[in-house]
Chains A and B, each alone.
Chain A
Amino acid sequence: MDRPWFDQETDVLLLDEYTVEMDSYKRIVEDGNITDTELLEQTLRVVTLLRQLEEALSPEAKAIATEAFGEMAVLNALQALRLQASSPLP
C-alpha cells in the first residue's frame, strides 16, 4: 500500500501512525508483557522484510535505505541512552 511518510499539510512524519495500526504493535501494548517467542517472531518478521526490501530496491535506493536505517538505529540508541540516564537506579 502506497502511503505517504509525511503529512502533506504539516510535514510531520506519519510512520508512527502506521506503526500503531500494526497487529504486532497492538499485541505488545495490549498486555504489556513481551515473551521470548514474541521477540523472536518480531525479529524474524523484520529480517524477512529486510531481505524482501534488499531484493526490491535499486542500488541507489538501497544506499539511501541503508543510511536511513543506520540513522534510525542511532536515534534509537540515543533514546535508549537518554531513558537509561533519566531512570533511577533499581
Chain B
Amino acid sequence: MGTFNSTKTIPYVVEDVAPVAQDVMRHFEQQDFEVTETNIPTGGAQVSIRKGGTFKAIIGMKTALNIKIEPVANGTTVDAGVGIFGQQAIPTAITLLVFWPVIIAQVWNMAQESNLDEEALRVAEESLKAHSSD
C-alpha cells in the first residue's frame, strides 16, 4: 500500500493482461462507471474508472481510479490509485498547483470509503485466476 494507492502482487501469470483488463472494465461498467483502457509500455494495461460524486474534475480534468495491471517476474501486480481518467501520469498543469496533493488525498479517501480499491484488486485477482495458465 502506497500513500494514495493499494497494490497487490498476485501469483498468477497470464500471457496477455488484456482479458483481465476487460473483466475489470466490464465489472465496473455494469455499475454505471465510466471506464476506459490504456496500454502501459511495459506490457500491462491500465483501466480507468470514474463516476460523478466520487471523482471530481480538477481544472477540467477528470479524476479517476486508475487500475494498473502489469506482469512481473513472480506473477502480476495490480495497483489501484487516484489519477486522471485515461492518463498514466498526473499532468504537469495539475502538479504545479499547491493543493493538488490535498485534492488527490480527498478523492482517494472517497474512493476508499466506497472500498473501490479493494473491489478493483479483488475483481482483477479473480480474473487473473480464471485466465491463469498455472
Contact = CB atoms under 8 A, between A and B. Distances in A.
Interface in A38-90: 72, 75-76, 78-79, 83
Interface residues of B, number: 18
Provide the main secondary structure of the chain A interface.
Answer: helix
Given A7-B56, A17-B59, A79-B101, A29 B93 contact: yes
Contacts of A15: 98-99
A10 B59 contact: no
Interface residues of A, number: 19
Contacts of B110: 10
B56 A10 contact: yes
B115 to A, nearest CB: 18
Interface of A: 7, 9-13, 15-17, 19-20, 28-29, 72, 75-76, 78-79, 83
